[in-house]
């Protein structure tokens, strides 16, 4: 099975390690993943105005490309996943958005949300399977206590994202178990890190990031893992905790034995 892969802008610049480890891991797992040719920015933030069409066009272009390849679009960045999944839902459920987007893009065949948008963690769960992933582990992270940090964008809005239970998610904890580590469940794992307010109100992001890391540390976590470059930035640069923060793909690469020093 082939997946069309959308990396997004940040994974080619500030979050290269998130992308690079992910690609090393799919190779180790024997998956057929092909990066989309000439991909464009997803739009970065999902537009809240229902009549906003222009900023959704790049996402529709990407979704339509994946439809023509294999119909499965693999994402990794939490923000990109959120934008692409929500725009895809618009193309399915909103006739006005669908009509205008198709008219703007002048597609040979109308796009109506046929592509399946799949996050990397969903691929591990639904297509690889936790038992199969566990069988591929050559360096189990025994004794390492890891807190999953979901943040906002993977889980909300819950009906559209359909990623996991928004109040009590388990997918990252199941991932942690599959690579041999011990998951730490803590109260702030799906609270906002401060997101984009870090630009104008860094004190707010600092307070929220510290609350997350302090909560993880108080419950015994040695480290916190995330899939979001923005969350990584806030937790790393705004937080004061001694708890380490890593991308989940880095510890996956370590467990699969493909992480380079």
Upstream peptide bond of 157 is cis (omega within 30 degrees of 0)? yes
Domain residue spans in the chain?
2-121, 130-256
For 134, the 3-state DSSP assignment is: helix
Residues 6+ apart with CB under 8 A from 175: 121, 124, 125, 130, 133, 148, 248, 252
138-170 pLDDT per residue, tens? 999 999 999 999 999 999 999 999 999 999 999
104-140 pLDDT per residue, tens? 999 989 999 999 999 999 999 999 999 999 999 999 9
Residues 6+ apart with CB under 8 A from 152: 190, 192, 195
Give dist(CA 125, CA 129) in Å, integer.
5
Nearest Cα neighbor of 155 from 89, 78, 102 is 78
Give dist(CA 241, CA 215) in Å, integer.
10
2-121 and 130-256 have identical folds = yes
Q: Is 95 left (phi over 0), alpha (psi -120 to 50) or beta?
A: alpha
What is the value of pTM for the model shown?
0.97
CATH level 3 topology of 130-256: Glutathione S-transferase Yfyf (Class Pi); Chain A, domain 2 (1.20.1050)
14-72 pLDDT per residue, tens? 999 999 999 999 999 999 999 999 999 999 999 988 889 999 999 999 999 999 999 99
Predicted local confidence at residue 30, as pLDDT: 97
Residue 36 carries which DSSP code?
Answer: P
Whether 152 and 110 have beta carbons less than 8 Å apart is answered as no
Pick the residue with more confidence: 1 or 41?
41
Tell me which architecture the domain covering 2-121 has in CATH.
Up-down Bundle (1.20)
Tally of residues, the chain: 261
Which percentage of the chain shows pLDDT scores above 70? 100
Predicted local confidence at residue 249, as pLDDT: 98
Q: Is the pLDDT of residue 261 over 80?
A: no
Q: Is the pLDDT of residue 172 over 70?
A: yes
**Beta strand ranges found along the chain (DSSP E):** 2-6, 32-35, 72-75, 116-119, 145-148, 182-184, 223-226, 244-247
């Amino acid at each position: 099975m082939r997946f069309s892969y959308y990396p997004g802008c940040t994974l080619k610049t500030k979050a290269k390690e998130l992308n690079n480890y992910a690609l090393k891991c799919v190779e180790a797992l024997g998956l057929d993943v092909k990066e989309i040719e000439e991909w464009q920015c997803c739009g970065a933030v999902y537009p809240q105005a229902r009549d906003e069409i222009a900023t959704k066009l790049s996402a529709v272009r990407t979704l339509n490309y994946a439809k023509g390849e294999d119909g499965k679009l693999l994402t990794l960045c939490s923000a990109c996943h959120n934008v692409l999944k929500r725009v895809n839902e618009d193309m399915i459920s909103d006739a006005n958005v669908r009509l205008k987007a198709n008219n703007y893009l002048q597609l040979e065949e109308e796009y109506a949300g046929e592509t399946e948008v799949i996050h990397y963690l969903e691929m591990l769960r639904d297509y690889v399977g936790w038992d199969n992933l566990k069988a591929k582990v050559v360096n189990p992270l025994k004794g390492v206590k890891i807190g999953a940090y979901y943040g906002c964008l993977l889980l909300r809005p819950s009906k559209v994202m359909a990623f996991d239970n928004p109040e009590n998610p388990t997918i990252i904890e199941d991932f942690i178990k599959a690579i041999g580590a011990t998951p730490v469940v803590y109260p702030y794992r799906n609270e906002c890190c401060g997101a984009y307010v870090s630009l104008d109100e860094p004190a707010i992001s600092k307070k929220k990031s510290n609350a997350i890391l302090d909560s993880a540390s108080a419950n015994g976590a040695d480290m916190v893992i995330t899939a979001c470059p923005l969350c990584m930035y806030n937790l790393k640069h705004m937080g004061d905790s001694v708890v380490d923060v890593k991308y989940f793909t880095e510890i996956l690469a370590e467990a699969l034995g493909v992480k380079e020093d």
